[in-house]
Amino acid sequence: MVKLTSQTLREMKRRGEKIAALTAYDFVTAQLEDAAGVPLILVGDSLGMVVLGYENTRSVTMEEMLHHTRAVARAKPQAMVIGDMPCLSYETSEQAVTNAQRFMEAGADGVKLEGGKAVLAQVRAIVGVGIPVLGHIGLLPQSATSYKLQGRSEAAAAALVRDARLLEDAGAFGVVLECVVASVAREVSQSISIPTIGIGSGADCDGQILVSNDMLGLFTGVTPKHARRYANLVEIMRTAFTAYKRDVETKSFPASRGSY
């Protein structure tokens, strides 16, 4: 098994191959995504909302992120595993390097952090110690006060292109574009040589990422407009739990064949 790297993803862009990325927060999900050939697995700070029940991604802690990164890494996926640096974990270059190294010790192959021009020093510092960095511009959930489409004005679009180029120059191997106007996301993708990974940013990004719980229908909250649902596991689980409760109450479980 050949481990995929940031260079693999850059070569995929060069060849015009689309990159399918998903989040994972546990061993089994990482195994299944890897078996499906997903090349990029993100242990996202979305963990805070879809797994831990927080109201936003800002509440998830470094220790919680490391705990779930270790679980994903134990699957030993061929995919590149990226740890999402949580809010307030990269305020300075020194702090950013220290926490990025903790992600690597937990089994990640690189880290992601939010921001463009404001985090260039941190990106350079992390890359400088040999850790791959995935950038993230557009909507920034860790700091956004409202969830709005990004890049709607000419100035905002130009700022996104600028930030993507600056992140590439700082050494990032790719950039997530979240909730960016599709035409602007296309312009950004054409302006840099590193892959863009879109989420709610149109079909012209070099890849796409979804929160696995959203696409599996395994989340009881609001599902974003951009998240296509490929299954409805909430209903499957609800039906199974109800059937189990009924079988216990009617003494049809356990049956004689299930007893020792």
User: Is residue 33 annotated as a catalytic residue, yes or no?
Assistant: no
Rounded to an integer, what distance in angstroms lies between the CA atom of residue 195 and that of residue 190? 10
Catalytic residue among 114, 178, 187, 235: 178
For 176, phi and psi rounded to 5 degrees? -80, 135
Sequence-distant (≥ 6) Cβ neighbours of residue 240 within 8 angstroms: none
Q: Which two three-digit tokens encode residue 153?
A: 């004005």
- Give Cα separations from 183 to 108, 114, 125, 156, 209 (angstroms): 33, 21, 32, 13, 18
Cβ atoms of residues 67 and 47 within 8 Å: no
Q: How far apart are CA 220 and CA 227, in angstroms?
A: 14
Cβ–Cβ < 8 Å for 113, 93: no
* DSSP helix/strand/coil, 229: coil
Distances (CA, A) of 131 to 78, 93, 115: 18, 13, 17
Catalytic residues: 178
